[in-house]
């Protein structure tokens, strides 16, 4: 028979275990909404180019540079900002990034000047670079080691939601109410988010001077370089196809159904991030290998049967399933490899990811002009084979065998 004190200790231990297994859902969802606002701010202009061009009295091609300048802001700001703010407390830094979105989207809503709007888009890109560098590390610090992957998965769910639901809904509202109203709604979302973060998201101290690592020291940590290479190759493969999906679909007479094809991709991506969220803490390496392999199978199917509509829908579904949880897999792997330097490492990931986006546009454009859309699947297979080999080789650090 146990004594009263022993039973009390047992109950206390059981309570502590239950608390350690409990995710701070409200705080993590605030991070997810931050990601949602970030992606929606970035991608929405692509669906409203005619309206934005008319509103600012510029061509659609010039209106398209709203997306370009946003990406440049993220690319140039992520690493310098994160390196310079290692000692700053995390919640004020997160709030500063969200305030940046509120200001940028307010200017975009009200501005009639193309130059001023472009400056606001650059500011939004800078805010995005800071926010993306913070998100994964922030989510990981809220939970014990065995829940880090799941926490990051919840914090990242805003990305596929924004792409699959937010952008189409924003495009519809922009057509119905005007493009400025959409950016006004995003300002309102940012203001709500500021209050939510202030109330529900815990604060964490920045790193003390003695614990801070230089960019070079972080880059040379075991596992960092393999993960960054995997991000570059995988995301480059994705963006070659995603950027030029319309001309690729034209070969199968599906150009007019691009919206439906992307909807299939978005829904599959949501399923993918859910699957990864459930399994990532136990099977990070296995799920990364599986996602890369599934994307490879999709590319192979597109290469063999790229003129058959049914095969395309199946392949796009597999591609979406593979890509949906990719950001979570890579950010979790990088956070675990970097340890206390996770925020600096994540800023490197943001930079590499944006380089892959830009590279996808350039390389995909060259392939399309010289060889046609049929060259995409072989190029994807080369990149995904390199990705698979890099993940397989990183069995000690980066994507370790559990």
How many Å apart are CA 251 and CA 264, to the nearest integer? Answer: 19
Helix-helix angle 309-324:258-305, to 10 degrees: 100
Mean pLDDT (the chain) is: 86
Contact 292, 391 (CB under 8 A): yes
Across the range 382-400, mean pLDDT stands at: 94
> Residue 197 sits in a domain of what CATH number?
1.20.1250.20
Share above pLDDT 70 across residues of the chain, in percent, rounded to a whole number? 93
SS3 221: coil
Residue 69 lies in a domain: yes
Question: Within this chain, do residues 299 and 341 fall inside the same structural domain, yes or no?
Answer: yes
Question: Within this chain, do residues 155 and 238 fall inside the same structural domain, yes or no?
Answer: no
Question: Within this chain, do residues 179 and 243 fall inside the same structural domain, yes or no?
Answer: no
Residue 17 lies in a domain: no
pLDDT: which is higher, 117 or 82: 117
Torsions phi, psi of 374, nearest 5?
Answer: -65, -15
Question: Within this chain, do residues 143 and 221 fall inside the same structural domain, yes or no?
Answer: no
Question: Within this chain, do residues 229 and 374 fall inside the same structural domain, yes or no?
Answer: yes
Please give the DSSP secondary-structure letter assigned to residue 166: I
- Which domain does 262 fall in, by range? 215-393
Domain end: 208, 232, 264, which one?
208
Question: Which residue blocks in 64-157 are alpha helix, DSSP H?
Answer: 65-84, 90-110, 114-141, 148-155
Tokens representing 287 are 């799920």
Question: Within this chain, do residues 229 and 335 fall inside the same structural domain, yes or no?
Answer: yes
Residue 291 lies in a domain: yes
Q: What is the pLDDT of residue 74?
A: 86
How many Å apart are CA 19 and CA 14, to the nearest integer? Answer: 9
The answer to which of 31-35, 229-233, 357-361 has the lowest mean pLDDT is 357-361
Residue 400 lies in a domain: no
Across the range 26-46, mean pLDDT stands at: 88
Across the range 34-38, mean pLDDT stands at: 91
Total count of domains within the chain: 2
In this predicted structure, the answer to whether residue 73 has a pLDDT above a threshold of 80 is yes
Question: Within this chain, do residues 165 and 219 fall inside the same structural domain, yes or no?
Answer: no
In this predicted structure, the answer to whether residue 8 has a pLDDT above a threshold of 70 is no
Domain end: 159, 181, 208, which one?
208
Question: Within this chain, do residues 274 and 314 fall inside the same structural domain, yes or no?
Answer: yes
Question: Within this chain, do residues 186 and 51 fall inside the same structural domain, yes or no?
Answer: yes
Across the range 21-49, mean pLDDT stands at: 86
Q: How many CB atoms lie within 10 A of CB 186?
A: 26
Instruction: Give Cβ neighbours of residue 277 (< 8 Å, ≥ 6 apart).
Output: 149, 150, 153, 154, 157, 325, 328
Q: Which residue bears the tokens 């001309």?
A: 247
The answer to which of 21-30, 156-165, 229-238, 356-365 has the lowest mean pLDDT is 156-165
Residue 19 lies in a domain: no
Instruction: Tell me which residue of 220, 261, 221, 217 sits closest to 241, measured CA to CA.
Output: 261
- Model confidence at 115, in pLDDT bands (50, 70, 90)? very high
Domain end: 149, 182, 208, which one?
208
Report which listed range, 46-60, 162-176, 196-210, 286-300, is most confident: 286-300
Question: Within this chain, do residues 93 and 144 fall inside the same structural domain, yes or no?
Answer: yes
Angle formed at CA 280 by CA 276 and CA 284, multiple of 5 degrees: 115
Q: What is the pLDDT of residue 16?
A: 43
Residue 35 lies in a domain: yes
* pTM of the entire predicted model: 0.79
> Left (φ > 0), alpha (ψ -120 to 50) or beta: where does 222 sit?
beta
In this predicted structure, the answer to whether residue 17 has a pLDDT above a threshold of 50 is no
Question: Within this chain, do residues 381 and 324 fall inside the same structural domain, yes or no?
Answer: yes
Across the range 40-69, mean pLDDT stands at: 81
Instruction: Give Cβ neighbours of residue 292 (< 8 Å, ≥ 6 apart).
Output: 234, 322, 384, 387, 388, 391
User: Which string of DSSP letters, residue by residue, matches 295-317?
Assistant: HHHHHHHHHHHTT-HHHHHHHHH
- Model confidence at 76, in pLDDT bands (50, 70, 90)? confident
pLDDT per residue as tens digits for the range 225-272: 999 999 999 999 998 888 788 788 888 888 778 778 878 888 898 899
Q: What is the pLDDT of residue 210?
A: 62
Report which listed range, 10-24, 296-310, 360-374, is most confident: 296-310
Question: Within this chain, do residues 190 and 282 fall inside the same structural domain, yes or no?
Answer: no
Q: What is the pLDDT of residue 4?
A: 55
């Amino acid at each position: 028979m146990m004594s009263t004190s022993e039973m009390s200790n047992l109950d206390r231990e059981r309570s502590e275990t239950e608390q350690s297994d409990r995710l701070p859902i409200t705080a993590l969802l605030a991070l997810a909404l931050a990601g949602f606002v970030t992606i929606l701010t970035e991608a929405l202009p692509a669906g409203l180019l005619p309206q934005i061009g008319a509103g600012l009295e510029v061509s659609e091609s010039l209106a398209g540079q709203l997306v370009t300048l946003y990406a440049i802001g993220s690319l140039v700001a992520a690493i310098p900002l994160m390196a310079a703010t290692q000692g700053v407390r995390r919640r004020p830094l997160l709030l500063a990034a969200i305030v940046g979105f509120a200001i940028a989207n307010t200017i975009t809503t009200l501005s009639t000047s193309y130059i001023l709007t472009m400056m606001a888009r650059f500011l939004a890109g800078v805010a995005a670079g800071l926010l993306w560098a913070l998100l994964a590390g922030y989510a990981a610090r809220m939970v014990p080691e065995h829940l880090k992957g799941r926490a990051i998965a919840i914090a990242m769910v805003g990305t596929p939601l924004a792409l699959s639901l937010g952008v189409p809904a924003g495009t519809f509202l922009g057509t119905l109410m005007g493009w400025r109203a959409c950016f006004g709604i995003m300002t309102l979302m940012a203001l709500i988010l500021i209050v939510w973060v202030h109330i529900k998201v815990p604060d964490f101290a920045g790193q003390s001077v003695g614990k801070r690592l230089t960019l070079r020291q972080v880059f040379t940590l075991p596992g960092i370089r393999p993960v960054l290479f995997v991000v570059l190759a995988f995301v480059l493969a994705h963006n070659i196809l995603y950027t030029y999906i319309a001309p690729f679909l034209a070969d199968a007479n599906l150009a007019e159904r691009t919206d439906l094809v992307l909807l299939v991709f978005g829904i599959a991506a949501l399923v993918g991030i859910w699957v990864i969220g459930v399994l990532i803490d136990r099977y990070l390496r296995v799920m990364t290998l599986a996602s890369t392999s599934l994307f490879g199978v999709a590319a192979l199917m597109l290469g063999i049967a790229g003129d058959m509509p049914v095969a395309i829908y199946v392949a796009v579904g597999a591609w979406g399933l593979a890509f949906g949880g990719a950001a979570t897999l890579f950010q979790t792997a990088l956070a675990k490899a970097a340890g206390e330097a996770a925020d600096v490492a994540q800023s490197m990931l943001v930079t590499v990811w944006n380089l892959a986006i830009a590279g996808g546009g350039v390389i995909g454009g060259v392939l399309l002009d010289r060889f046609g859309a049929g060259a995409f699947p072989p190029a994807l297979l080369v990149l995904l084979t390199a990705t698979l080999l890099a993940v397989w080789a990183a069995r000690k650090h980066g994507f370790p065998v559990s």
